[in-house]
Structure 1
Amino acid sequence: MRVKSDEKRQAIIDIAKECFSQQGVSGTSMSQLAKQLGGSKATLYNYFSSKEEIFAAVMQSSATEQISNSFLSLDINRDVRTSLLEFGYNFLDSILTPDVASIYRMAITEADRSDIGRHFYNNGPKKGWKHLSDYIEQQISKGELSQCNAWVAAMQFKALLSAEYVEQYAFAAIEKPSQKQIEATVEQAVNAFMKLYGNA
């Protein structure tokens, strides 16, 4: 029974992702999703309590899970520079994908119409950057990074990583950069960050 339930849940997510991409979240109703699924609204509510919860699941099923995994490379016991380089590459490689760009655009579009933008930020980006902020705080305590506001430092590192490609890619103005281009961007970002906050 569990396998069947998981399959049905994934079917809902897949259908919702397609509908949200075509019509936006606010332009898609639970009735439409049920019709596409070939079931009833009661079936949807057996799996999700709201459309917002379905969107959160769509978000999770996309490459956002891979983005979350990039934050795991921030190992407090490793060299700071090495950890930041690995994190930066994994992060950019994950975020510069069609799935993530699509989810990001949807969340921005819906931000003025509902709580979906806030829900997306609080359950996605904010958690990840809080993890980086905590990592920086720990490295400050160890004396590896200089005293600073860890959250501000995390946001500055995010800006350094994102400056060259992220906005252009989100607007479909460029194709995904090559591995060599991403590596060069990350190295420049880490070099700048370490000049600001490194204790070496």
Structure 2
Amino acid sequence: MRIKSEAKRQSIINAASVVFGSTGFEGSSMSDICNEAGCSRGTLYSYFASKEELFLEVMILGSQASIDAISAALDPAASNIEEALAQFGCRLLALIYSPEFLALRRLAMAEATRSEFGQLFYTRGRKKGDVMIADFLRQAAAAGKLRAEDPDLQAVQLVGLLESELSEMLFSANPQPLEPARIERVVANAIRVFMSAYGPSQTPTSPPDTRATIQK
């Protein structure tokens, strides 16, 4: 009887990530993955019943890294909301615009038009991250650090602002890791725009009474 182990399962996933990243889903075969992992087809199929199942696992585990980074960076107890958002933004962009994660994102986008992988990747990955961000923004608004608006919309807009200057990297054939200084500039620009829209409202002062005095 073939004994399964978590270490072997992970080695197969790592090998599949390399193969899918270099040749795409359609261009990859289970034999290619076997060769990369150094295992037999029987061993491979004892862990994953199909290439589709293995591909989805690679996608989900890749997105989990993003979720973990979001969870670690969002601190509801932070006194300075701008600093908390900047820390979050820098960690997020360093991860999702790394060459390895960009390769996973491109794979998910390519498969979205041919199968349900794209939707599953979003539902089990990006969507969970958006929920975490929205919860953080909701707590920040309750503490008076942000203006109370729709936190789900705010979360989507925040990530959109953070990615707005880097989206062309998704289409680069050989993306290079971002320099920390560039990440900081991009994040600072995004947070400035976000806070201008959703920063805590100032209590308006009553305008002076400029009505003309009624002459008797």
> In structure 1, what residue type is equivalent to 2:93?
L
Unaligned runs of 5+ in 2: 202-216
Give, in whole Å, the separation in 1 of the partners of 2:138 and 2:25: 37
Percent of aligned positions that are identical: 34
RMSD: 2.5
- What is the Cα deviation at residue 146 of structure 1? 1.0
Aligned to 1:13: 13
Matched residue count: 195
CA contact (8 A) 1:85 1:190 kept: yes
CA contact (8 A) 2:75 2:84 kept: yes
Give, in whole Å, the separation in 1 of the partners of 2:172 and 2:123: 25
1:113 lines up with 2:114 in the alignment: yes
Unaligned runs of 5+ in 1: none
Aligned to 1:149: 150
Give, in whole Å, the separation in 2 of the partners of 1:112 and 1:154: 26
Other structure's SS at 1:124 match: helix
- What is the Cα deviation at residue 61 of structure 1? 4.9
Aligned to 2:67: 68
Q: TM-score, normalised by structure 2?
A: 0.78
Aligned to 2:48: 48
Relative to total residues, which structure has the larger helix share, 1 or 2?
A: 1
Change (3 A) 1:158 1:47: same
> In structure 1, what residue type is equivalent to 2:21?
S
Change (3 A) 1:17 1:175: closer
Give, in whole Å, the separation in 1 of the partners of 2:192 and 2:96: 21
1:186 lines up with 2:187 in the alignment: yes
> In structure 2, what residue type is equivalent to 1:70?
A
- What is the Cα deviation at residue 83 of structure 1? 1.2
Residues 95-134 of structure 1 mapped to structure 2, 5 A cutoff: 95-134=96-135
CA contact (8 A) 1:24 1:110 kept: no
CA contact (8 A) 1:26 1:110 kept: no
Q: Deviations over 1:16-63 (max 9, x none)?
A: 2233234322444446545665423x533432354343223323554x
> In structure 2, what residue type is equivalent to 1:11?
S
Other structure's SS at 1:146 match: coil
